[in-house]
Structure 1
């Protein structure tokens, strides 16, 4: 089944020709190893995002960056031969010329940042940060492997919104992205974007420890550390550039040694100032994040416990294995002590182990396993733990056995844990996946429809139901279900991905192109989104409503392109 230049050669179209990684871990699909997914992503990213999709850098910025590169190179040349000194002086002289040219270019270019000295509240508006964050997320999705797991995403969204309700964050338009990476990391981007590596779930032992990291990232957002950081850099940059220019002049005229010493001192002072500012932000995020946890009814003592384990892990690792979280959130003994002392001011919360969280950890194990068989062995080795951990290990074993093509064994294991909670959505979906592994998708669809009648609109159930309908040759019904769900979750790439597949199978080719366009928009591949919309426009001539909507989306794509260029 192929598609070329907008003509469809078969009604049943899949996304096999899409040049973008879309890691799908829902419905137990874990047959590909993480190494294979990485390789597919690396290959697809090369073709998916062409150079004209990235906003062009301003000439002044290019000249400035080149100057810094040359400067740093000259600082690290330790050969004292006459030739090396001569080359080093030439590099420094060129850096000086570039800095001067950058300054002249900056004077003639229209700069979009406000004057120095404005308060951080006016430096970037919340709406600007929101647009900036969504633009960043589109680019990030195009380049990083992400996880499409409706169950895990639903869990993380609920936990994050629970914490955000008790945080100081005013703009709560939060967007979560799960990164398919075993590294221990999470991050926050201006505008309410929060990223979580699925590897973090393997490291955080309890829900409270995970909440520690999420609360910390929410604090970075609520305290607007990005905007304040830009303001800080703007205030520091004129002083740093002035000292750098003086050093370059000294190097290019009087000789190398004095100028090099002055440059080294200038860079060291700038780095020290930035480091102090970064540490101040981290301490503030620790304090504000802990208050969020307390207000949300979670145990603040989980924070020092989590940080202590991270620090211990970094001590016994070489530089390449230090947890990624520590690279952007540096820890120290004093910072952990401050966190521990702050936690002692609050009573310890007695919280039962969250089964919801333990089940999500099992899903993370599946996502990061090289093979289903490897996951089977791991979960078998965890069946002797506490009752909650044993139940989670059994659930993970069910997922692994299903993915390994052993549905009968998986069904027996599911019976061991399902009897106590027949309405748990994770188990209902696992049962449906077993039916599909047995080539009984109609049975799976029936069970999921019954549960959706009890929990209408539930996203994980809806996605599983649509997938079962598609597998049971009921694509028209699946399309109706997903179109309705897309109104609730218009920014969900996984939903548009599945909807496009369903529409291809149902013969709705114009709809397929529109859904593909929405998928590409969310992933920042605007040229491809435009092409898909143009294909759809050709197929809907005579349908005024459809053509009007498609033209509106084409205008939106053009606006996004202009917006990305402005950033």
Structure 2
């Protein structure tokens, strides 16, 4: 299913933002709310959240989100754990993962947090990864973006459009010919739209360190991640990693952070194996070459590695991707024996069953695991995939549909639901699921078309028609707001 990317992402951004910025709001001379100083806000936290969701739709319309339920679940759990120990008041967070090898993460007003898989290449532990995420959460909790908008006395819509352009550029370098063709001057200008002041950066470092410590993680990992960033700068030549373009690592910032870290008590912090397993999955995704990945993981097993168990897990993934299920099982066996209850290993065992078309075994194992992990997002997605591969389309559709109330803003679930609904012969379900997928990806014309197709098929179902009519009215309002924006 194609998402029919719009010609210009700034036009899409304008449409999304216009939903929330009425002519009255745009015309009003509203000040920033109290953010620890005497200023007051251009927009409320609720409006900021809605703007962030609109921004996310526009962003998704321009980039390819990386969909790995296991990795997404891991990052989301880590992010929410950090948020619960931070000063962030609104914990409605939206995670977006991008398969890009650059070291980058970002936070957008309204709770949108983006992670490039390249962070796993540089972070040597979960605590180091957490230090970056905690830093981004600090920017959100202190509303640094809103403060900067007020200081510059610019329209927040223009600034967020610039942020969109900057992050699309960062996510698509080397992959999108149109974006790659931008001049260095344009790129530098867009990068500036994401820069925070030195004071903002030091405040985010301070709060990030506090958050990491409060979450039971090692605050010294902040200093370790700084060292990895500086090392990456030496390897990449004149152009620093994407993260440092928008979060410059000055000597004073490093010194200030190290002074704060020194104040915390020294203690032992155990390494988290799950981080290293997810790192192996990320390396596979970035390599996009199972043979090369196999060589990498085998070399780690034979020599030095951050975690030998994760390196063995990596060989399992690589063998499976190469179609060598026998060798994959051989490598997986000692991991399962040592940790029979580890869900990540059990899911890989099920994936191998599925690959070998042993669907009965895969389904039985999945159902047994669901008794202990009923809320597991990756387990349920795995079972839905197994049902689909086993031609049990209706059961796959029912399982995915049961997940939509819990994950209404997850485009991957809607995409999968549209696919399996078609296989199950539920054509109206195909169109309704596609409409939600297109809405979440900012492709409103396609969403309207899909709702129209569904309405024709359900013309005799008055309840469904009423729901679709309301959705179509909402889309019509979007179009009107866009026209107001262009005219204003």
Q: TM-score with structure 1 length normalisation?
A: 0.73
Instruction: Work out whether residues 127 and 217 of structure 2, in 8 Å CA contact, stay in contact via their aligned partners in 1.
Output: yes
Q: CA deviation at 1:277?
A: 6.4
Deviation at 1:312, TM superposition (A): 3.0
Which residue of 408, 432, 448 maps to 2:350?
432
Contact 2:93–2:113 (Cα < 8 Å) also in 1: yes
How far is the alpha carbon of 1:121 from its aligned partner?
A: 4.1
Residue of structure 1 equivalent to 2:264 = 346
Quote how far apart the aligned CAs of 1:110 are: 6.3
Match of 2:361 among 437, 443, 450: 443
- Helix, strand or coil at the partner of 2:26: coil
Q: Provide the C-alpha distance between the structure 2 equivalents of 1:178 and 1:46, rounded to a whole number of angstroms.
A: 21
* Residues 469, 475 of structure 1: 8 Å contact kept: yes
- 1:198 and 2:117 correspond: yes
> 1:316 offset after TM fit, Å?
4.3
Compute the displacement of 1:555 (Å): 2.7
Match of 2:473 among 544, 555, 560: 555
| Aligned residues of 1:133 and 1:189 also touching (Cα < 8 A) | yes
Contact 2:104 2:118 in 1 (8 A): yes
2:2 to 8, 19, 41: 19
Question: How far apart are residue 319 of structure 1 and its match?
Answer: 3.1
Instruction: State the Cα distance separating 1:564 from its structure 2 match.
Output: 6.6
Q: Does 1:312 align with 2:231?
A: yes
State which of 449, 452, 456 in structure 2 corresponds to 1:534.
452
User: Given the superposition, is the C-alpha separation of residues 56 and 521 from structure 1 closer, same or farther in structure 2, using an over 3 Å criterion?
Assistant: closer
Partner residue of 2:252 out of 331, 334, 357? 334
1-side partners of 2:195 and 2:139: how far apart? Answer: 16
5 Å matches for 1:362-441?
362-384=280-302, 389-441=307-359
Q: Is the 8 A contact 2:16 2:58 kept in 1?
A: no
- For the 8 Å contact 2:103–2:122, the answer to whether it is kept is yes
Query: How far apart, CA to CA, are the structure 1 residues paired with 2:357 and 2:482?
Result: 46
Trace 1:415-494 onto structure 2 (pairs within 5 A): 415-494=333-412
Note the C-alpha offset of 1:387.
9.2
2:51/2:110 contact within 8 Å kept: yes
Quick one: structure 1 residues 54 and 345, their matched pair in 2 at CA, closer, same or farther if it must change by over 3 Å? Answer: closer
For these two proteins, the number of residue pairs brought into alignment is 440
Pair 1:296-2:211 in alignment: no
User: Per-residue displacement from partner, 1:460-483 (whole Å, max 9, x unpaired)?
Assistant: 000000000000010001111111
Q: Indicate yes or no: 2:14 matched with 1:55.
A: yes
Equivalent residues of 1:362, 1:396 under 8 A apart: yes
Q: What residue is the counterpart of 1:86 in the other structure?
A: none
The two structures, once aligned, show a CA RMSD in angstroms of: 2.6
SS at match of 1:194: strand
- Which 5+ residue runs of structure 2 have no aligned equivalent? 18-22, 34-38, 157-191
Pair 1:130-2:40 in alignment = no
**Do the aligned partners of 2:305 and 2:311 also contact (CA within 8 Å) in 1?**
no
Shift of 1:457: 2.5
Please give the alpha-carbon distance, in whole angstroms, between the structure 2 residues aligned to 1:434 and 1:159. Answer: 27
List per-residue Cα deviations over 1:317-363 (Å, max 9, x = no partner): 3234x210000000012211111111001113411111010000001
Match of 1:217 among 124, 127, 136: 136
In 2: Cα distance, 1:566 partner to 1:414 partner: 59
Q: Distance in 1 between matches of 2:266 and 2:483?
A: 50
Structure 1 residue 424, shift from structure 2 partner: 1.3
Query: Matched residue of 1:129: which SS?
Result: helix
- The answer to whether the Cα contact below 8 Å between 2:350 and 2:365 also exists between their aligned partners in 1 is yes
**Structure 1 residue ranges without an equivalent (≥5):** 1-17, 21-43, 59-108, 238-272
- Correspondence 1:176-325 to 2 at 5 A: 176-234=95-153, 278-320=197-239, 322-325=240-243
Query: Which residue of 2 is the match for residue 112 of structure 1?
Result: 26
Is 1:116–1:231's contact at 8 Å kept on the other side of the alignment? no
Q: Is residue 2:71 matched to residue 1:157?
A: no
Greater Cα radius of gyration, structure 1 or 2: 1
Quote the offset at 1:392 in angstroms. 0.6
**TM-score normalized by the length of structure 2:** 0.85
1:57-88 per-residue CA deviation (whole Å, 9 max, x = no partner) reads: 99xxxxxxxxxxxxxxxxxxxxxxxxxxxxxx
Q: 2-side partners of 1:336 and 1:209: how far apart?
A: 15
Residue 291 of structure 2 contacts residue 322 of structure 2 at CA under 8 Å; is this kept in 1? yes
Alignment match, 2:177? none
Return the match for 2:419 from 501, 509, 517: 501
